[in-house]
């Protein structure tokens, strides 16, 4: 009876996920006692996947250029006016597609390449699976491309119907499988890429317990394990959100549904996921880039503070979205009335926001201090990225204050511009600048010749 209600796309997604889990279980549960290694792996074995990480940086650069061109086109006056007229269909073209190509295509691919370079040196063993590493790249790239094209194509097609007087929901239903199939396939394949990445990270860390050698940076493993787990949670949530029934529910919930998507979805991916990977990579590379590696105790404080703050914010936003969305969809309240019917709403948001803000500032201070006296190419990128994140994370708690939040709500689209600036500054001015700096630093360490003037121009 349950299988009867599964679509073909859902069934294939579950089969793919089950295959990844099954492969991981065969690695986690060996048939006999695994051998213990007491000699360090040679450098050529630890760096067996190094040459193959070039495609991550090339693909990440390509998607960043594509996303920046998309950003220029969507902000042209005539294009901006057209997308605004088409309502939520314009949101698919203007925001959703552009955000995914920049963050998934740019940020996550760069972070994955850095992870494959850094993680084997941290845990003192090669990557557990070459096949999973390759699948992580190709599934992510192909899934993202299909998802991106689907959002733009369907957004334009639905927008034309909306301009002719159609309601968005009716226009979306009119698209039928042209919307459901490519969007679902893109999200599902992209999710498989993330799951392959997370599985390979978990297997590599788990199997490193058998390597009994000195590991001076062993404490950094938890940044990569947490980042991979958070990205898995975020992609599972993303696949769930694009299911037709759930997407319709979020659309009907209006502003209340935005606490789930994009707020909770973006924060678990960007803060608990991508930021953890960036922080772990920076702490692992800062010594070789000419900086000062912070103490283990200080690094641990940064990790647990950021983990607690980000998970608290994720739980709060997910709860508010589900609770207030239910009041809107099933009881007929407006999003504003649903917020007023939740007395704890402002206090939960403020408490979680301040906790995450404090954790971020501790992390940023440690990062900036570690490169303050270095003279390499990493320093300007880290200082610029930390400055942007400091300003962006300060804006978050400020706009969560009840009076400011009410003012932004009354401002309508003008208020949305200010809220979007918070996300754009953190993503592009902060995390992306840090990632680009780390890529330049690791390429220089690998012997690549960098045009320093052009590299500084990027900042």
Q: How confident is the model at residue 2 (pLDDT cuts 50, 70, 90)?
A: very low
Q: Is the confidence at residue 25, as pLDDT, over 70?
A: no
| Cα distance between residue 366 and residue 452, in whole Å | 25
Alpha helices, DSSP H, located in 276-412 = 276-285, 296-331, 335-340, 345-371, 378-400, 402-410
Tell me what the mean pLDDT of segment 335-363 comes to. 89
Mean pLDDT, all residues of the chain: 84
The DSSP output letter for 270 is I
pLDDT on residue 111: 93
Q: Is 412 helix (H, G, I), strand (E, B) or coil?
A: coil
Q: Is residue 407 over pLDDT 60?
A: yes
Q: Compute the distance between CA of residue 147 and CA of residue 156 in angstroms, rounded to an integer.
A: 14
Q: What is this structure's pTM?
A: 0.85
Q: How would residue 9 be classed by pLDDT, with cut points 50, 70 and 90?
A: low
Is the CB of residue 276 less than 8 Å from the CB of residue 226? yes
102 touches 269 (CB < 8 A): no
**Average confidence (pLDDT) over 222-237:** 91
Q: Give residue 4's pLDDT.
A: 45
CA atoms within 13 A on the CB side of 213: 13
Q: Which residues contact 179 (CB under 8 A, 6 or more apart)?
A: 150, 154, 158, 172
C-alpha separations of 155 from 150, 265, 328 in Å: 8, 21, 25
State pLDDT tens for residues 250-289: 888 888 888 888 888 888 988 999 999 999 999 999 988 8
Which residues are registered as beta bridge partners of 211? 37
Residue 290 has pLDDT above 50, yes or no: yes
Domain map of the chain by residue range?
49-215, 239-459
The pLDDT score that the predictor gives to residue 458 is: 52
107-127 pLDDT tens trace:
899 999 999 999 999 999 999
Weakest mean pLDDT among 163-172, 204-213, 223-232? 163-172
In the prediction, which pLDDT does 20 show?
A: 64
Q: Read off the DSSP letter of residue 211.
A: B
DSSP state of 289: T
> In whole angstroms, what is the distance from residue 324 CA to residue 320 CA?
6
pLDDT of 297 over the 60 cut? yes
């Amino acid at each position: 009876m349950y299988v009867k209600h599964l679509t073909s796309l859902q069934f294939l997604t579950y089969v793919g996920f089950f295959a990844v889990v099954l492969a991981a279980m065969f690695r986690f549960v060996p048939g006999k006692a695994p051998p213990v290694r007491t000699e360090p792996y040679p450098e050529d074995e630890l760096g067996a996947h190094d040459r193959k990480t070039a495609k991550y940086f090339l693909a990440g650069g390509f998607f960043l250029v594509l996303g920046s061109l998309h950003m220029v086109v969507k902000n042209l006056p005539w294009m901006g006016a057209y997308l605004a007229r088409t309502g939520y269909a314009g949101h698919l073209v203007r925001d959703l597609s552009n955000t995914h190509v920049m963050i998934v295509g740019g940020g996550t691919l760069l972070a994955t390449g850095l992870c494959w370079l850094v993680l084997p040196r941290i845990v003192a063993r090669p990557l557990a699976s070459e096949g999973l590493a390759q699948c992580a790249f190709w599934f992510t790239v192909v899934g993202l491309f299909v998802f991106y094209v689907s959002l733009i194509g369907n957004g334009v097609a639905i927008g034309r119907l909306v301009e002719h007087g159609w309601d968005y929901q009716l226009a979306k239903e009119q698209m039928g499988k042209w919307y459901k199939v490519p969007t679902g396939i893109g999200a599902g394949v992209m999710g498989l890429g993330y799951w392959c990445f997370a599985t390979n990270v978990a297997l590599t860390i788990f199997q490193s317990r058998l390597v009994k050698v000195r590991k001076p940076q062993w404490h950094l493993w938890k940044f990569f394990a947490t980042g991979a787990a958070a990205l898995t949670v975020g992609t599972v949530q993303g696949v769930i959100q694009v299911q037709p029934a759930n997407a319709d529910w979020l659309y009907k919930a209006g502003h209340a549904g935005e606490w789930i998507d994009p707020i909770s979805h973006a924060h678990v991916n960007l803060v608990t996921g991508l930021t953890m990977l960036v922080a772990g990579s920076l702490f692992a590379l800062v010594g070789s880039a000419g900086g000062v590696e912070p103490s283990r105790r200080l690094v641990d404080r940064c990790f647990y503070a950021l983990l607690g703050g980000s998970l608290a914010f994720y739980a709060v936003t997910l709860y508010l979205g589900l609770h207030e969305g239910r009041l809107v969809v099933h009881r007929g309240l407006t999003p504003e009335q649903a917020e007023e019917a939740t007395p704890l709403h402002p206090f939960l948001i403020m408490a979680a926001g301040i906790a995450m803000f404090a954790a971020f500032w501790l992390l940023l201070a440690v990062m900036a201090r570690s490169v303050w006296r270095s003279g390499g190419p990493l320093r300007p990128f880290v200082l610029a990225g930390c400055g942007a994140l400091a300003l962006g994370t300060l804006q978050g708690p400020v706009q969560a204050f009840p009076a400011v939040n009410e003012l932004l709500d009354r401002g309508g689209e003008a208020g949305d511009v200010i809220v979007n600036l918070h996300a754009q500054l953190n993503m592009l001015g902060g995390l992306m600048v840090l990632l680009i700096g780390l890529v330049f630093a690791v390429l220089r360490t690998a012997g690549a010749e960098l045009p320093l003037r052009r590299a500084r121009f990027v900042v």
